[in-house]
Structure 1
Amino acid sequence: MKSRHKKLALIGGALAIIGIIAALVLNALNSNIALYISPTDVAEGKAPQGKAFRIGGLVKEGSLQRQADGVTIAFVVTDTAKDMTVHYKGILPDLFKEGKGVVAQGKMAADGTFTASEVLAKHDENYMPPEAAKAVGDAQAKSAGAEKPKASY
């Protein structure tokens, strides 16, 4: 093999290895992406089936139910337009409270509830995750728009 052919083979091999590494990295990143979905979007069927995603909003007042084992919890997340029941097994964050902002990551269960693998609570009295604040604002705008009668001329 000539020196020129050896160089071309080496460059081709290096490019192939770089391509394989890039494909593996992109595949790993794609499988770890968790999209944010509001309860209204879930009710409209926009939630990915079989994939993890995040749902956020406010914890509905009076919805928190703890099981006897102390770690199994059910609560309702609302964006003020639609509600979604969330089941979680684990220790909730210290700042988790009813009526406050929350984001839960997990998957939809067969019974239409959301099974969370992670629950994140707000970290400040006035803070709500941006996605949750937007979802609540959008839901309130939709419901306000639905209540107003349309003008006819």
Structure 2
Amino acid sequence: MWLAVAASDDATAPVLALGLAGSAAAAGALFRPVALGPSLAASAAAYAVLLAIDEPPLDSRAAGVAAALLAVGELTGWSRELASATTDEPGGAWRRPMWIAAAVAGAAGLAWVLVAMVDIARVEGLAVEAVGALAALAVVLLLVRRSAA
């Protein structure tokens, strides 16, 4: 819903509609887990519509949206697990929230790094080319290492 507040007059209605649909589907996912995927897709689509209509400058909202989507997905899945008849393993009551918090922080950090990289990529120069070449080399080496394992 906070995206609708940041949206222009042209984008407010579709962003709000998709946000409400995503929220409703997330609530439904507590009862029908199959609704979780459409819930996250509708919420992500609200941000995509905001980007498509308003064309805002590059900012860190993408990191917040990524972290929020991960948090909603993980917390919804965890609540379904807690509602089941099986008991959680000992220590799971504190390990799972810590894992979720770490995953959300990691997703936000990764998204911020990607946003910063995109911002750097808009600048031209030899340093940017060198960083890009090193990143490509790292990906190739990682793929070679994984295929050898």
Common fold, TM-score beyond 0.5? no
Structure with the larger strand share: 1
Name the structure where helix makes up a greater proportion of residues: 2
